[in-house]
Structures are given as structure tokens and as C-alpha cells.
Amino acid sequence: MTQKNAPPPIVFILIFFALIGSGYWYFFNRQSAPSKVAFSINTPSTSFSSPSSLPSGTTVRIDGSTSMVTINQNLKRTFERQFPGTNVVTSANGSQNGIADLLAGRTDIAAVSRPLTAQEQSQGLVAVAITTDAIALVVGKANPFNGGLTSAQAADIFQGKTNNWSAVGGNNGTIRVINRPAISGTHQAFKEMVLKGVSFGTTPNITTLQRDATTPLLQALGTDGIGYATFAQVANQQTVRVIPIDGLTPDASGYPFQRQLYYVYKNPPNLGVQAFLGYATSAQGQQAMILNN
């Protein structure tokens, strides 16, 4: 019986290296390929552009976070000037109410001071990051406490673990905590950033306001209270004093209590929503936000 010639050894060597190479390529690409799970449910595929013109009578309704009142007003004023005949109607009933109104069709854009939940995203809501904000801790101007707090001390105060000013270097006396209601996006952001997801305390020295509004909160501080608000709303106030955290003021880089502010829309966005978001995220809109802050 005639014996067939075996392939030369070089053939086996080439096959061996080819198998190793294809296995490495497969493994590397599996490891480096982005996971689909990492993407949010409603990541917008395109950004909005600021239009050159809009039909007269175009109306955009905005409701939501009290932290974004100044931003909304500045953008309203410059947007209406840029596009004569348009109308931007703004309200500030809290982030949660803004989202509820958006889902019910009572508003076009929700101004929100916290990220959307997975459930909210699953309902067709999309968040567009607008700017970065800092949450400031404040006391009344006449409060004798003139020091700063660490992040841990701030958390202990708002969890009810620390309730006397003497425990943080102040005079002996009860710390009255003035809290915002749960519908407030600033309340939710503070809970996540400062309390690390732990609930606010329920000790007798903690009072939760019925309405999410900054002015009543500041008025309630007196000489022994502490509260929190978006920095833009208190930076120029003459009746309160901002407390440094970890040695940093809210306008310093590295300040620990910073967050994103968002405009939220429901898919599909109408022409007015697209135009306003395009303007808000443009260089001109970004500059307009900080006017008169």
C-alpha cells in the first residue's frame, strides 16, 4: 500500500500560530467591545442645533427645579430676544412635579436637578446636561458659628446624629436643621452626594418644609439654623453665610458637593423643544445662563 507524503513541518507551525492569533483577536475584541448595558435607555443620538429663525407664536413651557429659576429666566429673556414672537413660560414647582407635568403633557421641558431614574427613562424621557452646580450649606448671618464643616460632619448633622453646635466647634445650642421636601431635586441630590443615599434624620431638631422654595428656607434659618440651596441662589444673599466644606467654598474647584443640572424632554421633541435645547446648549446660551447670577 502506497503511503501518502505528510505535510512538511512548516505547515503545522503556520497553522499553530494562526490558531493562536485568531484566539487572541477574538478574546481582545470581546474584552474591549463596549457593553450595551452601559448605555442609558434614552441616550440621544444627535444633539440639537440652535436654529436661525423660528415661527412667531412658538411657545415653550418649562417647569421644575427651583435651583434652575435664574437659569430659566436668563435663557427665557435672551431666547425671546433672539427669536422675536416666541414665548417661554417658566414655573418652578420642584423637579418631581416638573417631571410629572412633562409626562402628563402639561409642560414641554422639565428643569431637573438630579439624574433621571431608569423608570423615568423607560417612559421616554431624555435628560440633557445643561451646566454644573454646587449645593451650598448656609446659616443665618447672625449665627455665631463662624467655622467650617467636614463632609462627615455635614452628613451627621442632616442625619440627626449631631444636633448641638458645640459638637462642631460652635457654642452650646441646638442645631435647627431646615430641610427641603422630598419633591425637591436638590433634596434628592443632597441625599445622594452628602448622605451617600442614607435618609435624612427624623430627630426633633429637623424641620422639613412643605414647599420647595429657597426664600422661606433662608428666612427660617434665624441664629441657630442650617440649610442648603443651590449656590447661585445664595452667593449674593446678604442675610446668610455660606459654610466651607472640607476647607473649600462652593466656587472652588474640588468642592465636594457638585452636581449636574438637566433639561428633560419627552420623545419625540417638538420644534420648540428642539430649538430651545439647541439654544441652551450653544455657546450663546451657555453664556446667557450666567448673566446676573
Q: What is the pLDDT of residues 160-174, one digit of tens each?
A: 999 999 999 999 999
pLDDT of residue 23: 44
Cis geometry, peptide bond prior to residue 268 (ω within 30 degrees of 0): yes
Q: Can you tell me whether residue 232 is helix, strand or coil?
A: helix
CA-wise closest residue to 109 among 94, 90, 123, 93: 90
User: What is the mean predicted confidence (pLDDT) over 80-84?
Assistant: 96
User: Average of pLDDT values for 224-243?
Assistant: 94
197: pLDDT strictly greater than 80: yes
Mean pLDDT of 23-39: 32
In the predicted structure, residue 38 carries a pLDDT above the cut 50: no
Rounded to an integer, what is the distance from CA 222 to the centroid of its chain?
A: 29
Instruction: Report residue 10's pLDDT band, with 50, 70 and 90 as the boundaries.
Output: low
C-alpha grid cell for residue 164? 448641638
Whole-number Å distance between alpha carbons of 160 and 205: 8
pLDDT of residue 179: 97
Average pLDDT, the chain: 85
Rounded-to-integer distance, Cα 289 and Cα 46, Å: 22
- Give the rounded percent of residues in the chain with a pLDDT score beyond 70: 83
Contact 110, 64 (CB under 8 A): yes
pTM of the model: 0.69
Q: What average pLDDT does the segment 227-240 reach?
A: 92
C-alpha closest to that of 66 among 132, 120, 111, 105: 111
- For residues 259 and 262, give the distance between their C-alpha atoms in angstroms, rounded to a whole number: 10
Inter-residue contact 228 to 138 (CB < 8 Å): yes
**Which domains are present in the chain?**
59-132+260-289 (3.40.190.10), 134-258 (3.40.190.10)
